[in-house]
Amino acid sequence: MAETAAPKTSPETNLSLRTSPAAVLRAAFETGSVPGTVELSEITFLTMVGLRVARDTDAGQRIASVTGGLPATCGAVSGSGDTSVLWLGPEEFLVVAPLEAHESLGGDLIQALREALADGEGQVVDLSANRTTFELTGPRSRAVLEKGCSLDLHPREFKAGTALSTEIGNIPVVLWKTGEESFRIFPRASFAEFLGRWLLDAMREYASPEVP
Amino acid sequence: MLLISCPNCGSRDETEFHYGGQAHVAYPENPNELNDREWAEFLFYRDNTKGAFAERWLHSTGCRQWFNMLRDTVTYEIQAIYPMGAPRPDKAAPAPESGTASTAPDSTTTGTAAPSIAATSLATSTAPASTTAPEGATK
Ligand SMILES: [Zn+2]
């Protein structure tokens, strides 16, 4: 054992050693996407942090100053720059940030959040490996989601810039509408392959010309 | 499919929720002093109400918060949704005026919810227990 050389840890080795939950579907996502109609891809290794803190406490306000605010109501998303905070519950939030924010790649977001919480009541938990991120874009993306989601996804109800916990294809996910025709879907890692294949199946009809 | 209005998230499908059984079943004040029958009644004996029934629900795939609901077990009509710890809304109004009289008229149906709370405090446990036990035994 002593002879085994410890691998050098650097951001590059850390990243090269990782396999994303839907990596096996990367080629399928490319061939299954219908350019200009509906496209699916996996965004790998986003930094995600689970927060449990009350907004109106000192700790909540300290954390809000790190993240650029904490959302107050169901569906709301706050944050600043490339760091977003999604509302999951009255005292539960999900921070989503680029992969470089993770401490394994030299980032300091999670450490900053831990320091902001300090000994206040609450939790800061690194959940980056808990969920992966799917990006579904294109004019047919809403129609694809509507095949397996009971929320009212019509733009008059579900506005760009909101995120809701729900189920898609019976899989619990967080669904974040990032633009008028773009969604980010956060399934837990173990459900990623199933949901990826479910979405591919739901997208399939849009590859064929519409039957008049 | 019920459309349930979560206090935090608004209307969502029933499939997003988990049922938590009868509401307002208070934990015994002195659990060690209960005999086996009383403990069994606290754990397992629940009302089987025809009509308005107070029950607990969890928005499990949404905000993961518990709340109480008053639901008609015949029509499925949701009559009220109120926070955990709040008193049952359809009992709240008459209760302060005359505590014992308010539960008496409907004690054959929903009224059993009130005595079952009292049954968990030992002082009053004997009377309600003796009335609820035969009901449970017939199930
Ligand atoms: Zn909810």
pLDDT single digits (tens) B9-54: 999 999 999 999 999 999 999 999 999 999 999 999 999 999 999 9
Tokens of A170: 């019976």
Tokens of A165: 């916990």
Nearest chain A Cα distance for residue B43, angstroms: 30
Q: Which of A86, A150, A152, A173 is most worth mutating to test chain B (most B CB atoms within 10 A of its CB)?
A: A150
* DSSP secondary structure of B64-124: --EEEEEEETTT--EEEEE-TTSPPHHHHTTTTT-HHHHHSTTTTTGGGHHHHHHTTSGGG
pLDDT at B103 over 60: no
d(CA A126, CA B114) in angstroms, rounded, equals 45
Cα-only R_g, chain B: 16
User: Taking ligand 1, which is a single-atom ion, which protein residues have CB atoms under 5 Å away?
Assistant: B 6, 8-9, 59, 62-63
Q: Say whether B9 and A150 touch across the interface (CB within 8 A).
A: no
d(CA A98, CA A22) in angstroms, rounded, equals 18
Q: Of the candidates A89, A151, A167, which has its C-beta nearest B8's C-beta?
A: A89
Q: Average pLDDT of chain A?
A: 94
| Distances from the Cα of B122 to the Cα of A137, B7, B132, angstroms | 62, 34, 15
Cβ A105 vs Cβ A14: under 8 Å: yes
The band of A7, judged by pLDDT with boundaries at 50, 70 and 90, is low
Ligand 1 centroid vs B6 CA: distance in angstroms?
Answer: 5
Domains, chain B, ranges and CATH? 3-27+37-83 (3.30.2270.10)
Of chain B, the percentage scoring pLDDT greater than 90 comes to 63
Nearest chain B Cα distance for residue A155, angstroms: 17
**What ipTM did this prediction achieve?**
0.84
Nearest chain A residue to B8 by CA distance is A74
Rounded to 10 degrees, the C-alpha dihedral B46/B49/B53/B56 comes to: 30
Chain A contact present for B7, CB below 8 A: no
CA nearest to A183, candidates A131, A135, A133: A135
Q: Say whether A88 and B63 touch across the interface (CB within 8 A).
A: yes
Q: Say whether B10 and A74 touch across the interface (CB within 8 A).
A: yes
Of chain A, the percentage scoring pLDDT greater than 90 comes to 87
pLDDT at B107 over 80: no
pLDDT at B106 over 50: no
Q: Is the dihedral of CA A106, A108, A114, A115 positive or negative?
A: positive
pLDDT at A92 over 50: yes
Q: What is the mean pLDDT of residues B50-78?
A: 96
